[in-house]
Structure 1
Amino acid sequence: MTQKQKVIIIDGYNFLFRAFYAIRELTREDGLHTNALYGLANMTLKAIDYLQPDMCVVALDSGKKTFRNEIYSEYKANRKAPPEELMQQFEYVEPLLQSLGVQVLKEPGFEADDIIATFAAKIDREKYDLVIVSSDKDLMQLINGQVYMFDAGKQMELRAEEVMDKFGVTPDKVVEVQALIGDSVDNIPGVKSVGPKTAAQLINEYGNLENLYENIENITKAKLKENLTTYKENAFLSRELATLKTDIYPQVNEYLLNYEITTEKAVEYTTFLGFKTLAKKLAEGFLVKDPNAIKPSVNSTEESEEQQSNIDTSNYQLVNTIDMLDVWVERLYDSEYFAIDTETDSLDGITANLVGISLATEHGKACYIPLEHNTATDMFSTNEDQLDRDLVLEKLKPVLASEDIIKVGQNIKYDMHVLTKYGVEFNNIDDTMVMSFVLNGGKHRHNMDDLSNLYLNHKTIKFSELGLKKGQTFADLEPKFATVYAAEDADITLRLYDVFAEKLAKEPTLAKMYTDIERPVIKTLFNMEQTGVNVDLAKLNELSADFTNRAEVLQQEIYDLAGVDFNISSPKQLGEVLFDTLAIPGGKKTKTGWKTGQEVLDKLVEEGYEIAKKIEEFRHLTKLKTTYVDSLPAYINKKTGRIHTSYKQTGASTGRLASSDPNLQNIPIRTTDGQKIRQAFIPAQGYSFVSIDYSQAELRILAHMANIKPLIEAFNNDKDIHSFTAMKLFGSTDDEFRRKAKAVNFGIVYGMGPFSLAKQIGVTNAEGKAIIEEYYRMFSGLEQFMSEQKQKASDLGYVETIYGRRIHLPEASSTNKMVQANAMRGAVNAPMQGANADIMKIIMPKIEAALEEKYPQAKMLMQIHDELVFTIPDHCVEKVSEFIKDIMENSVDLAVKFKADIGVGKNWNDAH
């Protein structure tokens, strides 16, 4: 008789999550967190070595909604998003596992558990023994004579006996018990007050839910009977949610490939992730003789690749007397630069209340000055550990305003917002977050925790470690317990400043980028955020009511066309109505149901289906209402009556500004209803909005960078570039051909291939290919420029803008072809986007200073990609608009002339 082959199927994310929380912080040289990936690789290899399988499969969750969310929308709704440090590792999971030679499977709409269950059900038991490598209790329902589980952490086999110990029933009854007890982790409701012991007793007596409810009258405990009756629907729903799918694949033989690791691939990818020790072991042949090695250790890390912090916090001082304060103020005046950080009760600097201030003048010499901690026990007691806020600020104001001493902050704009409400002015500032961004945009994040870990080998104290209860703020912490946490922020900021200043000194081009472009715009953004923008609340309320009424009308019209009421927002129900109930031909089915995405609806609209048109209108209205109309009022500041967005200058690696709380850059403009939302943004009485934006800035930059003579000539002669291209490509400038030419102009530059271009402009693939070839021929130099940019990204790991901004593209050297291709597209378009961002950051402080000097009543309010929005007194709108336009057009010294367009209106939409 032929011996059975052993197949192991690993629950990949079970390993990944366990490793993330078990292994202390580990990062690649560029700051990428890799602890979970390192643990995943080690645990996978050691499981393979321990179990010696013939075949190895790793199952992964698809990371999106599953069919269980269609059954029960609250499924897993209570789960918090994984920590950012873990999320940034997800994209490397598949290529890492593939490099280790294992078969990786994931299916949209299903969980890894369902893939594993399908293997357990479909595998040929005459030929294979299956081992499920996981500690997940939900998989215990799959255990039988030929299938068992292996808990890698405990080096323990899990069979029917262990299931009995865990659930009190045999494996085939596990889902019946789960139906009654529910699962708080996955938000499966179960039956109220029924625990595992009671559930096991019931199932052992009655066998399953159906038999239990048929004999419900035999339940003698009144409360138990009442709960079982009341929550009957929950029980059957919970069983459906807990039952794993066993039919994802019709058969699984095609996925059973003999396990074989290619050493070169494994070494290359583990080296790419920074796992030098593991790569060395792989190169030498990875064979683990000690099965205990399979268990991750809390001390696991790459040998000699992570140093211990040598930062001494013992000299941090709590400043709570005038004499101590005076000593520190004198130190500030004696310093060439010092670090400052504020502690508050909110993440919103404009509304936050000041709780305390920390300062640092030398490495290890830092202090915390508590001001507004809630430590008084009653109305008659005093805060003896704190100084008077106004007294402290009066002593600090002169040094903070001094032009001679540098004030260093980590995201100093926040501290400026906090203190400006107390009459504090900042001059001569530096920002470690922005310095890091200039040095390493695109390589890693720029928050203090990551920078400290990366550059100082020091793990900072987390806010969550302070022991505050839910709802408490920093103000509820006693000053003596707040000192180390607060002073550490200033100390770390100062140390980072010294690191980055030294690095910038060695990179003159990047130093100029920081001093001439990024640093000046900090104050400009601060002033814009402080000014804020007026919003017509009545208009928003009116729109909300209008959108609600129209959505209700559309809903009824859709019901009438469908002949049935259903949840329009449910893809599953919508697909059933369109392609089952109405039998519309051409629908495409996935494992979770019919496809009903935007592409599908667009196609149905083109084919003349009225219901599809109504559904698209309904979706658009409801999205506008929930995302914008109903959410914007919450951002209106109660004191100012305005919305104060926050501009982040370190968000995009290209340097483009991002807007948040709210994101003004996403306020829609293309549809009539979207434009109505912009109409709610209004200037003060006697003022107008003026919008000035660059025309086709990125194409102009491309023409300059690639030295494309025809484009340069066309732009400098004020030709309509899309009509110009349409005539050259299609021999016509009619609207249809101009629209196609516009798609070509932008599409090719941003990496669009023949297939995508053909689809967008409505031609065949062959025609799309011919258009691209003709475009390259027309605009000589473009193809070579694109090739050179890709080569530079591949060789150096970054590309540069014409102003010297370095945009890092670490994935350009990825062994994953899809990841690498995406990076190569970035290598072509990032220099244009980045240069456009550079230009905006250059002109914004210049315009602000010019207005302050000549037209101080005019203010810059918003920056939206290529557009700047101003509020200008009505009596001088035309004059000031032309004044600003002139600055914008004449501040760019390229081979291509830059052109700006002016719009004026009594609301944002009319001004655009």
Structure 2
Amino acid sequence: MPHLYLVDGSGYIFRAYHRLPPLTNKHNEPVGAVYGYTTMLWKLVDELNKADGPTHMAVILDKSEHTFRNEMYDQYKAHRPPAPEDLVPQFPMIRDATRAFSLPCIEELGWEADDLIASYTKAALAQGWSVTIVSSDKDLMQLMTDPSVDMLDTMNNRRLGPADTEAKFGVGPEKLGEVLALMGDSVDNVPGVPGVGPKTAAKLILEHGDVEAVLAAAPGMKPGKLRDNLIEHADMARLSRKLVELACDVPLPDPLDELELKGIPDAPLRAFLEHHGFRTLLNRLSAVADAPVHTQEAPGFEEDPPCEHDGYETVVTEADLDRWIAEATHQGWVAVDTETTGLDATRAGMCGISLALAPNKACYIPIAHGGSDMFAEKPVQLDAELALARLKPLLEDPAVLKIGHNLKYDMIMFARRGITVAPYDDTIVMSFDLDAGLHGHGMDELAATHLSHSCIAYKDVVGTGKKQLGFHEVDLRAATRYAAEDADVTLRLWRRFKPRLAYESVTSVYEMVDRPLVSVIAGMERAGVKVDAQVLARLSDEFSKQIASLEGEIHAIAGFKFTIGSPKQLGDVLFDKMGIKGGRKGKSGVYSTDVNELERIAADKDSPGREMVVKVLDWRQLSKLKSTYTDSLQAQINPETGRVHTSYSLTGAQTGRLSSTDPNLQNIPIRTEVGRQIRDAFVAEPGNLILAADYSQIELRLAAHIADVPALRTAFENGDDIHSMTAMELFGEVNRDTRGRAKTINFAILYGISRWGLAGRLDVTADEAQDMINRYFERFPGINSYIVSTLEEVRARGYTTTLFGRKTHFPRIKSSVQHERQGAERAAINAPIQGTSADIIKRAMARMGPALRDAGLPGVRMLMQVHDELVFELPEGDVAAAKPVIERVMATAAEPAIKLTVPLGVEIGVGPSWGAAH
């Protein structure tokens, strides 16, 4: 019996677009939606073909926005926003992708995809075929009136039938159109009847039969808003009924017989994939066709089989655990993951451990499952202490490589239980070193991008809202599917990434810079830093008073009270009431009041709103510092340790810099008095001191080396004030004003600043700023040559590199959208310098522990890394011995890999608090 599958292509496209980050192909064209759509369609075709499902298939698309429904009602879909700018050029490529699978790509002017699907469904049923509509669109549920029609919701991997329509809308498919007409649709701008939702609509239709019968009965209904709305909006209800009705008589563009599904072809699909450089999919095609691959994928790669969740093992006996440990020890590598009760590794409990030895060969070892109630029944599982004692030799075995994703989290979990995980590979770091700038590096995104696999969602395991369970309360079968999949996917990603490291020349940055940092960062996070809650409480109180005072002053200037934190209200006050010129509104019609806009006004001495804006900027800073630091830091103090444990990310900043959250240490103001006050709250334990070691102007020093600027190199070698030297070169004299301007120019030009940007920073005209930039390049031509050559290289290759080989990709470097392209250019100019700086401080961090131990200083602990600074806690008696060790390690961190032509200056301060150490 023929079985026709009709794919709602529009739904696939937008799911693909929002599922993946912006990606570009080797031609620098946006292809994120194209790649996602291709993988989703391939998965569908391949799985259905293997399941002996469809005999015929077609993808149905919307041809144009204007259809016969717009002739009926000109406001139909009028509120829908236009397609995203970077999605529009992908539509033709998506059509090419469909045809590359030898699938019909059907669309027709004047008709919606839903009408074509309805018409093909009717025609197929007339010939005795079965039909499956691949969509979860509620409008298409109207077509399931015949038992030979069902729907496939690929998002949730489930079949839909008439019962699902009734469960969702209270009526069967045959009455769904009546319900949809009454309730309307805000997305498509179908008016419906005001105040009538799904439940009320279903109740009315079940009582009266259809829309006309409901409207006829309305005058006799109980007086009230419902009755009045039905009478007043009767015409709109009738119109809505026509709008939601699917046209089933559209002439079929392609005859049914031409929709026959013949499997995945090789030649057209290969040509399409090679054109776009989709290496992963090309490998899969070659595995299917048993043909050679002509791509840049690392050699020796074999395509993995699909994940088989039901084959994962739940390990609940000592014998089975010993068997897994023995196999891992014999093999020499094992993927490891932990399941816990929370996101904070320094506080969370451990529910279990998952292991993977090969694709689909994975297990979950529960050790603390069961309800929270002491009387709750516990499932059969291993004793936690016994299981961890058995696993400890494996996890510490120097002959067995442990593989994890964001492994520092698991390292902390194990370290709290006396286990040191080593040696190791971390797939999140591998991904970052290979593809920084191309996409995110979370497991779900990497699985979708590299494995064409959708991981089980955590919320699908534990639930959401009030009914959400803790992972320890989850059924062991479901827990195993989820947890073992994590280890399985991690192993599969490692199999992809490991050979690529050498093939794509990033082994050095992974081995010499980033991988050693994983265990170092884990140790720093676990150590944490002591924070004086009393200092924070006092600051919070002071900030509250200053905020209240500023609010009063701002309201007095405005002449009335308003919500300062509301962009709309603030914008109306500044640009409408006070008449400040140059206000710009966004798509929502609200004036922009972002920091750049406010700083523009504050810089204008003649602006009528300058006084207020200066106070608003102060109010914002104090409010942010209070909420983000002085208030929240008190709540973040771990009651067990009395310390705050920030979480570092090795993949959070595109250039390779570390970032931190909970709290974000990188955003504490450095040069302001209030920022220094917050640093005063970071203190040492009794008998200890805080030591802060800071690289001095490291990015300018690296610029002098990378751009080969003799004047700057000489100045650094002689220990000259670089900003004073620049001031003399540019302005002919050195004073407070010229030095300050020179300092701004020195750093701004390294960030690729425009004449307009520099003009705003220095409060000069654009022409004056351009003149300064020209003079700077005349005095330091190497900087200009560096900028030109860097932009030429990134446009040709798509990425920049640091001195240590770190790649940062810039997919927007050739964007047709000016602000995207210029943003990519500015970032690309700075990336080799900032990235090299990040590499150097990471190398210093990795070497610091061994150097201090060798010097007999095991009591010196590295606690924090903030920008170019390392912060330590150490016994008072160790200060004199530790200073030269720390300075030497930092100053020589680039060696022997790189011999810099400028010295790296390191400034060290010591005090009872972080603030006092500066």
Task: Report the TM-score, using the length of structure 1 for normalisation.
Answer: 0.71
Q: Is it true that 1:888 corresponds to 2:890 in the alignment?
A: yes
The separation in 1 between residues aligned to 2:77 and 2:226, in whole angstroms, is 42
Residues 398-407 or 303-312, more deviating:
303-312
Q: Deviations over 1:204-242 (max 9, x none)?
A: 99x9xxxx9xxxxx99769999x99xxxxxxxxxxxxxx
Which position in structure 2 is the counterpart of 1:241? Answer: none
Q: Is it true that 1:848 corresponds to 2:842 in the alignment?
A: no
The separation in 2 between residues aligned to 1:53 and 1:552, in whole angstroms, is 54
Which position in structure 1 is the counterpart of 2:424? Answer: 429
State the shift of 1:389 in Å: 0.9
Which position in structure 1 is the counterpart of 2:164? Answer: none
The separation in 2 between residues aligned to 1:357 and 1:733, in whole angstroms, is 63
Q: Deviations over 1:332-359 (max 9, x none)?
A: 3222222211112222222221111112
Question: Residues 358-369 of structure 1 correspond to what in structure 2 (within 5 A)?
Answer: 358-369=354-365
Give the counterpart of 1:550 among 535, 542, 546: 546
Distance 1:576 1:468, change over 3 A: closer
Residues 701 and 904 in structure 2, CA contact (< 8 A), matched pair in contact too: yes
Q: Which amino acid aligns with 1:404?
A: A
State the shift of 1:374 in Å: 0.8
The separation in 1 between residues aligned to 2:715 and 2:77, in whole angstroms, is 56
Q: Is it true that 1:685 corresponds to 2:682 in the alignment?
A: no
Distance 1:152 1:488, change over 3 A: closer
Distance 1:763 1:407, change over 3 A: same
Q: Which amino acid aligns with 2:415?
A: T
Q: Deviations over 1:755-799 (max 9, x none)?
A: 222232233322222222222221122222222222221222212
Question: Secondary structure of 1:442's match?
Answer: coil
Residues 615-624 or 602-611, more deviating:
602-611
Residues 62 and 112 in structure 2, CA contact (< 8 A), matched pair in contact too: no
Identity, % of aligned pairs?
36
Question: Secondary structure of 1:900's match?
Answer: strand
Which position in structure 2 is the counterpart of 1:92? Answer: 86
Give the counterpart of 2:412 among 382, 394, 417: 417
Which position in structure 2 is the counterpart of 1:490? Answer: 487
Q: Which amino acid aligns with 2:427?
A: T
Q: Deviations over 1:250-300 (max 9, x none)?
A: xxxxxxxxxxxxxxxxxxxxxxxxxx979989x9xxxxxxxxxxxxxxxxx
Which position in structure 2 is the counterpart of 1:535? Answer: 531
Distance 1:426 1:593, change over 3 A: closer
Q: Which amino acid aligns with 1:392?
A: A
Question: Residues 405-554 of structure 1 correspond to what in structure 2 (within 5 A)?
Answer: 405-466=400-461, 468=463, 470-507=467-504, 509-554=505-550
Which position in structure 1 is the counterpart of 2:45? Answer: none
Q: Deviations over 1:840-892 (max 9, x none)?
A: 11110111222233211111111011111111222332442233112211333
Give the counterpart of 1:330 among 322, 326, 330: 326
Question: Residues 157-168 of structure 1 correspond to what in structure 2 (within 5 A)?
Answer: 166=180, 168=182
State the shift of 1:801 in Å: 0.7
Q: Deviations over 1:648-674 (max 9, x none)?
A: 112223211111122111122333223
Distance 1:280 1:441, change over 3 A: closer
Residues 134 and 152 in structure 1, CA contact (< 8 A), matched pair in contact too: no
The separation in 2 between residues aligned to 1:170 and 1:830, in whole angstroms, is 51
Give the counterpart of 1:869 among 845, 868, 871: 871
Which position in structure 2 is the counterpart of 1:46? Answer: 63
Q: Which amino acid aligns with 1:436?
A: S
State the shift of 1:182 in Å: 8.5
The separation in 2 between residues aligned to 1:165 and 1:35, in whole angstroms, is 37
Distance 1:812 1:44, change over 3 A: farther
Question: Secondary structure of 1:631's match?
Answer: helix
Q: Is it true that 1:402 corresponds to 2:404 in the alignment?
A: no
Which position in structure 1 is the counterpart of 2:14? Answer: 20
Distance 1:176 1:334, change over 3 A: closer
Q: Deviations over 1:117-138 (max 9, x none)?
A: xxxxxxxxxxxxx999899xxx
Which position in structure 2 is the counterpart of 1:798? Answer: 799
The separation in 2 between residues aligned to 1:380 and 1:204, in whole angstroms, is 55
Question: Residues 726-805 of structure 1 correspond to what in structure 2 (within 5 A)?
Answer: 726-805=727-806
Q: Deviations over 1:88-145 (max 9, x none)?
A: x9672366579999xxxxxxxxxxxxxxxxxxxxxxxxxxxx999899xxxxxxxxxx
Question: Residues 197-346 of structure 1 correspond to what in structure 2 (within 5 A)?
Answer: 310-311=305-306, 313=308, 315-346=311-342
Which position in structure 2 is the counterpart of 1:265? Answer: none
The separation in 2 between residues aligned to 1:594 and 1:437, in whole angstroms, is 37
Distance 1:878 1:734, change over 3 A: farther
Residues 564 and 570 in structure 2, CA contact (< 8 A), matched pair in contact too: yes
Q: Which amino acid aligns with 1:827?
A: A
Distance 1:823 1:197, change over 3 A: farther
Q: What runs of 5+ residues in structure 1 fail to find an aligned partner?
A: 1-13, 64-88, 102-129, 136-150, 157-161, 185-189, 213-217, 229-275, 284-300
Which position in structure 2 is the counterpart of 1:144? Answer: none
Q: Deviations over 1:135-166 (max 9, x none)?
A: 9xxxxxxxxxxxxxxx998699xxxxx99975
Q: Deviations over 1:28-51 (max 9, x none)?
A: 7799464778899x9876236988
Q: Is it true that 1:356 corresponds to 2:352 in the alignment?
A: yes
Question: Secondary structure of 1:343's match?
Answer: strand
Which position in structure 2 is the counterpart of 1:82? Answer: none
State the shift of 1:823 in Å: 2.4
Distance 1:616 1:794, change over 3 A: closer
Question: Secondary structure of 2:398's match?
Answer: coil
The separation in 2 between residues aligned to 1:464 and 1:573, in whole angstroms, is 37
The separation in 1 between residues aligned to 2:766 and 2:905, in whole angstroms, is 35
Which position in structure 2 is the counterpart of 1:899? Answer: 905
Distance 1:574 1:323, change over 3 A: closer
Question: Secondary structure of 2:639's match?
Answer: coil
Which position in structure 2 is the counterpart of 1:379? Answer: 375
State the shift of 1:726 in Å: 0.8
Residues 313 and 362 in structure 2, CA contact (< 8 A), matched pair in contact too: yes
Distance 1:315 1:352, change over 3 A: same
Residues 605-614 or 334-343, more deviating:
605-614
Distance 1:337 1:742, change over 3 A: same
Question: Secondary structure of 2:362's match?
Answer: strand
Question: Secondary structure of 1:369's match?
Answer: strand
Q: Which amino acid aligns with 1:446?
A: H
State the shift of 1:911 in Å: 1.9
Question: Secondary structure of 2:419's match?
Answer: coil
Question: Residues 686-701 of structure 1 correspond to what in structure 2 (within 5 A)?
Answer: 686-701=687-702
Distance 1:796 1:612, change over 3 A: closer
State the shift of 1:581 in Å: 4.9
The separation in 1 between residues aligned to 2:461 and 2:569, in whole angstroms, is 47
Residues 316 and 367 in structure 1, CA contact (< 8 A), matched pair in contact too: yes
Question: Secondary structure of 2:64's match?
Answer: helix
Which position in structure 1 is the counterpart of 2:661? Answer: 660
The separation in 1 between residues aligned to 2:516 and 2:572, in whole angstroms, is 57
The separation in 2 between residues aligned to 1:195 and 1:720, in whole angstroms, is 82
Residues 95 and 816 in structure 1, CA contact (< 8 A), matched pair in contact too: no
Which position in structure 2 is the counterpart of 1:826? Answer: 827
Distance 1:379 1:759, change over 3 A: closer
The separation in 1 between residues aligned to 2:193 and 2:447, in whole angstroms, is 45
Question: Secondary structure of 2:689's match?
Answer: strand
State the shift of 1:175 in Å: 11
Distance 1:62 1:721, change over 3 A: farther
State the shift of 1:423 in Å: 1.5
Residues 417 and 526 in structure 1, CA contact (< 8 A), matched pair in contact too: yes
Q: Which amino acid aligns with 2:364?
A: Y
